[in-house]
Amino acid sequence: MLAAVLSASLVGICPGPVPAAPSTSALSGSARPEDLTISTEGKQALEFIEEEQQPELFLLGELVPSSEQPLGPTSSVYEISAQDILDQNARNVADALRFVPGLFLSVGGGKNPSSAVSRGLSARQTIVFIDGRPVYDPFFGDVDLNNLPIDNVEKIKIVKGAVDAAYGPNAIGTVINIVTKRGTDSPTTRITTSYEAHNSQDYWLQHGGKKGGFNYFITGSYRLSNGFPLAADFAPTTAQRTAFREHSGYEKSNVSVNLGYDFSAKDRIAFQAGYYSAALDNPVNTNLQGGSRLGTGLNFTEFPAWKRQYLDLYGTTTVWNRLELRGNAYYDRFSNDLAFYPDQSFSQNNGLSRDLNDVYGANVQGALDLVKTLRLKTGMFIKQDRHRREDLFLGSQEQQESLTTDFFVETEYAPVSNLLLTAGLSYDLLYAGGGRTIQSYNPRGSVVYQPFISTRLHAALGDKSRLPRLLNLFGGIGNPELKPERNFSVDAGVEQSFWGDRITLSATGFRNKLDDVIAFVRLPGNLTQDQNLTSLLAQGLETGVIATVTKAFSLSADYTYTNIDFESRGQAPGSTFYHQVNSRLMYQSPIGVSGFVQVSYIDGAPFTFADFSSPTRLPSHINLFLVNAKVSYELWKGIKPYVAVENLLDANYERNPGFPEPGRRVFFGVNATF
Residue 463's Cβ-count burial label (10 Å; 0-12, 13-18, 19+) is middle
- Report the relative pairing of strands 114-118 and 250-264 from DSSP bridges: unpaired
CA distance 495 to 538: 23
Q: Are strands 374-391 and 639-646 parallel, antiparallel or unpaired?
A: unpaired
At 290 the pLDDT is 56
Task: Provide the pLDDT for residue 51.
Answer: 34
Contacts by residues 581-586 (CB-CB < 8 Å, ≥ 24 positions apart) = 581/557, 582/99, 582/101, 582/556, 582/557, 582/558, 583/555, 583/556, 583/557, 583/558, 584/99, 584/555, 584/556, 584/557, 585/553, 585/554, 585/555, 586/49, 586/87, 586/553, 586/554, 586/555
pLDDT score at 620: 61
DSSP H helices, 358-500, are 470-474
pLDDT by residue (tens digit) across 272-316?
999 999 999 999 888 876 555 544 456 788 999 999 999 999 999
pLDDT at 55: 42
Predicted confidence at residue 16, as pLDDT, reads 33
Confirm or reject CATH 3.30.420.40 for domain 2-495, answering yes or no: no
Burial class for 414, CB neighbours closer than 10 Å (0-12, 13-18, 19+): buried
Please identify every stretch of the chain with a pLDDT value under 50, giving residue numbers as ranges: 1-56, 67, 294-296, 610-618
Q: How far apart are CA 31 and CA 547, in angstroms?
A: 11
DSSP track, 282-311: -PPPTT----BTTBGGGSSEEEEEEEEEEE
Nearest to 31 by CA among 67, 83, 104: 83
CA-derived radius of gyration, the chain? 24
Give CA–CA dist 263/253, Å, rounded: 34
Distance of CA 423 to the CA centre of its chain: 25
Give residue 42's pLDDT: 33
Quick: pLDDT tens for 431-480. Answer: 987 778 999 999 999 999 999 999 999 999 999 999 999 888 888 888 88
Q: Encode 38-75: b = buried (16+ Cβ within 10 Å), e = exposed.
A: bbeebbebbeebeeeebbbbbbbbbbbbbeebbbbbbb
* Residue 320 to residues 266, 276, 646, Cα–Cα distance (Å): 11, 41, 53
Q: Which helix (H) or strand (E) holds 83?
A: helix 82-87
Pairing relationship of beta strands 301-319 and 323-340 according to DSSP bridges: antiparallel
The candidate with the shortest Cα–Cα distance to 291, out of 664, 658, 674, 661, is: 658
pLDDT at residue 289, as a whole number: 63
Which residues have a Cβ under 8 Å from the Cβ of 637 and sit 6 or more positions away?
none
Q: How many CA atoms lie within 13 A of 502 on its CB side?
A: 18
The Cα–Cα gap between 476 and 478 comes to 6
CA-wise closest residue to 598 among 653, 647, 664, 541 = 647
Contact of 466 with 438, CB cutoff 8 Å? no
What residues does 568 pair with on adjacent strands?
534
Cα gap 406→425, rounded to integer Å: 10
Give the integer Cα–Cα distance in Å for 583 and 99: 9
Query: In sequence order, what E strands does 212-266 have?
Result: 214-225, 250-264
